[in-house]
Amino acid sequence: MSSADKSGGSKNGSKSGSGSSSNSGSNSDKKSKNIEDLLKLLSMSQELTEVQKKEMEDYKFWKTQPVPKFDEKIIKEGAIDSDKTPDDIPNEPLPLLKDFEWCEVDLDSKEEIDDLFTLLHENYVEHQDATFRFNYPPEFFQWALKPPGWLRQWNVGVRVRTTGKLVAFISAIPTNLKIRGKSIKSVEINFLCIHKKLRTKRLAPVLIKEITRRVNKENIWQAMYTAGVVLPSPISVCRYNHRPINWSKLYDVGFSHLPENITKTQMISKYILPSNTIIEGLRKIKFQDIEQVSKLFADYNKNFELVQDFSIEELKHWLIGDEKVIQTYVVENPITKKITDFFSFYLLPFTVLNNPLHKELGIAYLFYYASDCCLDKPRFDPEATKLLSKRLKSLINDALIISKNLKIDVFNALTSQDNNLFLEPLKFGPGDGFLNFYLFNYRSKKINGGMKEDTREWDIENRSNVGIVML
Ligand SMILES: CCCCCCCCCCCCCC(=O)SCCNC(=O)CCNC(=O)[C@H](O)C(C)(C)COP(=O)(O)OP(=O)(O)OC[C@H]1O[C@@H](n2cnc3c(N)ncnc32)[C@H](O)[C@@H]1OP(=O)(O)O
């Protein structure tokens, strides 16, 4: 999760979702300004405007790093700097100002998880009146930061020397990326966060260089990360989209005004969902499904240019965990017992401050899914597209129904994967938040993020070639 960029969404100070607006939506959506605002906050994404994007020379830190320049024409894909070995990397951490010290945040210690919770809860989401905050359950950190192969030294914190207060954090987890079929041993960087009182003091570059040192020491030279902010240079950009589930609650918390000429009842009924799922054979995933799911997922992922190549152990971790955090369902053919589809979504609530009626907002984020409904046909074959659209609509509709039963208030999805096939029919609204995908020390041609370049509307025809979902 990353930042004021990942909001409503998650990530990254969140990088996750923002407001449901409208250019593909209806008139009534256009008018529900306040709900948009809420959802915008949720995603904490920032709009990708020219104003935000500085000239390369002004990126005092990033211009010194192995990342492509904005206007660089990528002719040959591959590592930018490939000369070093772990022995060339210093053994000692970077120096910090004398009042601060490095620490490893121990995710097996309740106290240290509390420290991390407090730092992120109070500082990760950038929101003017601080009405919403990420409310990470402790299980979330176990899931997000302890996949197979995780290393304790990659949960990097900075504490105040005298008080021990945790004031900054950055994390890495191992991952195998596949870019256009090429495997790249890599890490995902996430949860970069600096206490509000220590902002704009150039601590972020120190954290980034320190995590780079620690990752390089393990002989890993590439990283993937996402952010709402524009840095040199995104490999892809996706848009956040939001599907209100409990419109009435969103209204209650004061962020939804009734659009003109529409009643509250009409708004509620617009988003109403049944109580029971519809697909025959839909059930929760079990450990014994993983082999089949892994095969199905790998076959489905061949459609995308940027994916994670998960081992069975990794899939188990990411798809089957604490139900407070990750929900995964499979569709099992009742006769053949074959698993034909799966979908998953993760949960990360917001705390609502200063509201007499509600203390928390339930937020779900679409994670991974796959269907075998047309794997035997080329991705853009018209018949395959028709079949997949129909299948995804019923799968994600069931995901929405399950979310409703879990008391989720809004369901977020990016324009990545094949999502553009179901966003409009399932009443998602395009958000104002954009999530930029980056690779460290790797040149790659751009990857379609599912938006039309000129209007930033959903590109339903070409969909997206991004098959990776980052928290
Ligand atoms: C091989 C292994 C490699 C591993 C490393 C791979 C790279 C990983 C990269 C990290 C991936 C993180 C993925 C996530 O978690 S994205 C989530 C980021 N977190 C938040 O948004 C939470 C709220 N915000 C904060 O805590 C602070 O504002 C942060 C920490 C973001 C910046 O703190 P502060 O505001 O006090 O700034 P500064 O004075 O210290 O530093 C200013 C410099 O920092 C550059 N900056 C600002 N925001 C970001 C950002 N989100 N990614 C990368 N760089 C960023 C900025 O352009 C400037 O550089 P330059 O413009 O002069 O060049």
- pLDDT above 90 for 354: no
User: Poorest-confidence range of 72-76, 126-130, 213-217?
Assistant: 126-130
pLDDT winner (highest mean) among 4-18, 31-45, 404-418: 404-418
Average pLDDT over residues 302-306: 97
Average pLDDT over residues 361-377: 96
Say what the pLDDT of residue 193 is: 97
What digits encode the pLDDT tens for the residues 78-94?
999 998 999 999 999 99
**Residue ranges of domains in the chain, CATH in brackets:** 50-227 (3.40.630.30), 236-443 (3.40.630.30)
What digits encode the pLDDT tens for the residues 228-287?
999 999 999 999 999 999 999 988 886 666 789 999 999 999 999 999 999 999 999 999
Q: Whose CA is nearest to atom 61 of ligand 1?
A: 59
CA 116 / ligand 1 centre spacing (Å): 17
Using the atom order of ligand 1, give the atom closest to the CA of residue 203: 40
What digits encode the pLDDT tens for the residues 323-333?
999 999 999 99
Say what the pLDDT of residue 55 is: 87
Q: Whose CA is nearest to atom 42 of ligand 1?
A: 202
Using the atom order of ligand 1, give the atom closest to the CA of residue 221: 1
Closest CA to 132 of 467, 462, 359: 359
Using the atom order of ligand 1, give the atom closest to the CA of residue 2: 17
Ligand 1 near 300 CB (within 6 A): no
Ligand 1 pocket: which of 48, 133, 151, 194 to mutate (most atoms within 8 A of CB):
194
- pLDDT above 80 for 100: yes
CA 347 / ligand 1 centre spacing (Å): 24
User: Poorest-confidence range of 45-59, 116-130, 274-288, 324-338?
Assistant: 45-59
Using the atom order of ligand 1, give the atom closest to the CA of residue 441: 1
Say what the pLDDT of residue 432 is: 80
Average pLDDT over residues 358-382: 96
Backbone phi and psi for residue 346, each to the nearest 5 degrees, phi listed first: -110, 160
CA 205 / ligand 1 centre spacing (Å): 7
Say what the pLDDT of residue 19 is: 34
Of the pLDDT bands very low, low, confident and very high (cuts 50, 70, 90), residue 9 is very low
User: Poorest-confidence range of 17-31, 176-190, 379-393?
Assistant: 17-31
The set of catalytic residues is: 471
Ligand 1 near 126 CB (within 6 A): yes
Say what the pLDDT of residue 404 is: 98
The residue with greater pLDDT, 211 or 35, is 211
